[in-house]
């Protein structure tokens, strides 16, 4: 069957958002909480938790009918490359942002990589391939996201960004879609982004004007809780994308407009149609704003807090862990965040900042890392070193024991050495990486 081209950008994310609000009470409740958290961050009532760059593991599910739309690994990698430019503001065309908004273009501090281990811990290239007889998939039923309906099942959305690439996707009205995303707060079984193969990546079957990978940039923006820049109120001037630094705009812009395009009394600069969250062609969109980045980071702290540098750690794996009597305290100062007891035998822990270079069995290595870090802290924070030397004769050597012996003074010492602690975290990770290398 001949595939029809999409002549204007079409995205089903908002329609899916409305559908879930109307049909899924849990989604509606989650959305209220998520927006409340975002609101607090945007107004400075709550600070962002993640410093540095969050690396998100991606699995691409290629659902294909022909050899042609069974897109190549190279086309998939070309998409990852675009994401890593767009979300780090290293895309060359950011230079085309009009000077009036240059200072608003912001690094989102998010990068993406094809997953290297699958949900069972086995090595993977982060790509699944599923042959199907289904030519047309539907956003309304999410049929591409389930093997039972001709698509491919997701990997756990708490740990992976699921990207489905399909032959053809339509909305409830039968309108051809470039793609659609599920906003945070929705069902795990359908969480992720679906994109038509001809709008994915920059090579192979990617077709102009959607061959620069911006459909995925746009849809992942939704997945991280960004709304369309015109506020999704049709062509009216009352809708808002909840971002203070994106001009109020009348409706979507298509193609590659000339600057400025004034609507809703937003002159002289007009609509920010070069924003990734408008409907312009790939070559005409090239920026996120500061407020959009704040919303995305708030999402990583909130509903997507388990993704990126996060593992579920079985308690039983902490063979050396019992040496610590006050692990919660230690994590506070070492940059580990203990979130919550999950079940009797499992805990979540999370790294803040850059992810560690773990490839093999992160479960045990995290415990090792904490040990390595505590040793480094003692060696490098003068007050700790002094206390360790002084108390060693009475058998006090481990960090938690030192702190227990002289809590106030030493806690303060670590707190006032925050920069040193950060550097030590990096050293500890490097040490572990070397240990792994020599062990394997
Ligand atoms: Zn959209």
> From ligand 1's centre to the CA of 14, what distance in Å?
7
3 part of a folded domain: no
pLDDT band of 429, cuts 50, 70, 90: low
* Per-residue pLDDT at 438 exceeds 80: no
- Tell me which residue of 43, 46, 41, 75 sits closest to 60, measured CA to CA: 75
> From ligand 1's centre to the CA of 312, what distance in Å?
32
Name the active-site residue from 3, 15, 16, 219.
219
Whether residues 179 and 146 share a domain: the answer is yes
Whether residues 245 and 319 share a domain: the answer is no
Give the length of the chain. Answer: 440
Q: Which domain holds residue 292?
A: 13-301
Whether residues 20 and 139 share a domain: the answer is yes
Report pLDDT for 305. Answer: 80
CB 265 within 8 A of CB 238: no
CA dihedral 88, 91, 92, 98 (to 10 degrees): -80
Whether residues 246 and 315 share a domain: the answer is no
Mean local confidence (pLDDT), 146-159:
94
190 part of a folded domain: yes
Whether residues 252 and 357 share a domain: the answer is no
DSSP classification of residue 6: P
Burial of 412 (0-12, 13-18, 19+ CB in 10 A): exposed
The pLDDT tens digits for 272-303 are 999 999 999 999 999 999 999 999 999 998 88
Residue 22 CB partners (closer than 8 Å, separation 6+) = none
Whether residues 166 and 217 share a domain: the answer is yes
Q: Which region among 40-54, 206-220, 324-338, 414-428 has the lowest average model confidence (pLDDT)?
A: 324-338
Answer with the one of 244, 275, 301 that is the final residue of a domain: 301
| CA dist., res. 98 & res. 260, Å (int) | 9
**Residue 58: what are its φ and ψ, rounded to 5°?**
-120, 140
| CA dist., res. 294 & res. 222, Å (int) | 13
> From ligand 1's centre to the CA of 299, what distance in Å?
17
Structure tokens at 51: 């410093």
Residue 92 CB partners (closer than 8 Å, separation 6+) = 85
Whether residues 278 and 330 share a domain: the answer is no
Mean local confidence (pLDDT), 340-349:
26
Q: Return the CATH number at 205.
A: 3.40.390.10
> From ligand 1's centre to the CA of 230, what distance in Å?
11
pTM above 0.85, yes or no: no
Number of alpha carbons in the 13 Å side-chain half-sphere of residue 288:
32
1 part of a folded domain: no
402 part of a folded domain: yes
> From ligand 1's centre to the CA of 222, what distance in Å?
7
- Tell me which residue of 379, 299, 397 sits closest to 34, measured CA to CA: 299
Please name the residue ranges forming H helices in 109-240: 214-223
8 part of a folded domain: no
2 part of a folded domain: no
Burial of 96 (0-12, 13-18, 19+ CB in 10 A): middle
| CA dist., res. 383 & res. 150, Å (int) | 63
Please name the residue ranges forming H helices in 25-143: 25-42, 73-86
Q: Which region among 89-103, 287-301, 422-436 has the lowest average model confidence (pLDDT)?
A: 422-436
383 part of a folded domain: yes
C-alpha distance from residue 307 to each of 96, 292, 310, 349 (Å): 32, 19, 6, 11
Q: Residue 17, Cβ neighbours under 10 Å: how many? A: 21
Whether residues 430 and 351 share a domain: the answer is yes
Answer with the one of 301, 330, 355 that is the final residue of a domain: 301
The pLDDT tens digits for 28-81 are 999 999 999 899 999 888 888 776 788 898 999 999 999 999 999 999 999 999
Paired with 62 in beta bridges are: 129, 165
> From ligand 1's centre to the CA of 226, what distance in Å?
9
> From ligand 1's centre to the CA of 219, what distance in Å?
6
C-alpha distance from residue 19 to each of 95, 152, 183 (Å): 38, 22, 12
C-alpha distance from residue 266 to each of 246, 250, 270, 272, 274 (Å): 10, 9, 5, 10, 15
Report pLDDT for 120. Answer: 80
| CA dist., res. 240 & res. 258, Å (int) | 23
* Per-residue pLDDT at 348 exceeds 70: no
219 is known as an active-site residue: yes
The pLDDT tens digits for 207-217 are 999 999 999 99
Higher pLDDT, 396 or 134: 134
> From ligand 1's centre to the CA of 345, what distance in Å?
40
Average pLDDT of the chain? 81
Whether residues 143 and 74 share a domain: the answer is yes
pLDDT band of 377, cuts 50, 70, 90: low
Whether residues 216 and 351 share a domain: the answer is no
Answer with the one of 281, 301, 321 that is the final residue of a domain: 301
Per the structure, the count of domains in the chain is: 2
Whether residues 246 and 162 share a domain: the answer is yes
CB 11 within 8 A of CB 180: yes
How far is CA 67 from its chain centroid?
31
Whether residues 46 and 194 share a domain: the answer is yes
- Tell me which residue of 115, 126, 47, 124 sits closest to 308, measured CA to CA: 115
Paired with 348 in beta bridges are: 312
379 part of a folded domain: yes
**Helix (H, G, I), strand (E, B), or coil: what is residue 64?**
strand
């Amino acid at each position: 069957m001949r595939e029809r081209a999409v002549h204007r950008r079409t995205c089903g994310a908002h329609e899916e958002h409305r559908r879930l609000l109307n049909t899924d009470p849990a989604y509606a409740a989650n959305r209220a909480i998520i927006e409340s958290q975002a609101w607090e961050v945007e107004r400075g009532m709550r600070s962002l938790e993640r410093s540095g760059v969050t690396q998100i593991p991606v699995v691409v599910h290629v659902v294909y009918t022909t050899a042609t739309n069974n897109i190549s690994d190279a086309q998939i990698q070309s998409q990852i490359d675009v994401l890593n430019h767009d979300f780090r503001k290293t895309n060359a065309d950011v230079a085309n942002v009009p000077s009036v908004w240059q200072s608003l273009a912001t690094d989102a501090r998010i990068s993406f990589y094809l997953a290297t281990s699958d949900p069972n811990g086995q090595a993977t290239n982060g790509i699944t391939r599923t042959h199907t007889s289904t030519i047309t998939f539907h956003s309304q039923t999410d049929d591409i996201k389930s093997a039972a309906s001709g698509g491919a099942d997701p990997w756990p959305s708490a740990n992976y960004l699921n990207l489905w690439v399909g032959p053809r996707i339509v909305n409830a009205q039968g309108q051809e879609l470039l793609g659609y995303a599920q906003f945070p707060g929705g069902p795990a079984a359908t969480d992720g982004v679906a994109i038509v193969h001809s709008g994915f990546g920059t090579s192979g079957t990617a077709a102009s004007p959607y061959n620069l990978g911006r459909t995925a940039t746009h849809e992942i923006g939704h997945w991280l809780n960004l709304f369309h820049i015109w506020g999704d109120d049709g062509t009216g001037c009352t809708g808002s994308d909840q971002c203070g630094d994106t001009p109020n705009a009348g409706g979507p812009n298509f193609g590659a407009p000339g600057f400025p395009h004034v609507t809703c009394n937003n002159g002289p600069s007009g609509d920010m149609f070069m924003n990734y969250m408008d409907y312009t062609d790939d070559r005409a969109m090239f920026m996120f704003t500061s407020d959009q980045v704040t919303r995305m980071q708030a999402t990583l702290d909130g509903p997507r807090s388990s993704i990126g540098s996060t593992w579920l750690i079985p308690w039983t794996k902490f063979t050396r862990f019992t040496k610590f009597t006050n692990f919660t305290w230690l994590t506070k100062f070492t940059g580990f965040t203990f979130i919550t007891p999950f079940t009797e035998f499992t805990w979540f822990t999370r790294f803040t900042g850059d992810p560690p270079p773990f490839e093999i069995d992160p479960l045990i290595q995290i415990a090792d890392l904490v040990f390595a870090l505590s040793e480094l802290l003692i060696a490098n924070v003068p007050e700790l070193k002094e206390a360790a030397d002084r108390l060693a004769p009475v058998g006090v050597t481990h960090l938690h024991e030192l702190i227990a012996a002289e809590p106030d003074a030493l806690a303060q010492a670590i707190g006032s050495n925050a920069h040193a602690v950060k550097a030590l975290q990096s050293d500890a990770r490097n040490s572990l990486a070397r240990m792994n290398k020599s062990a394997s």
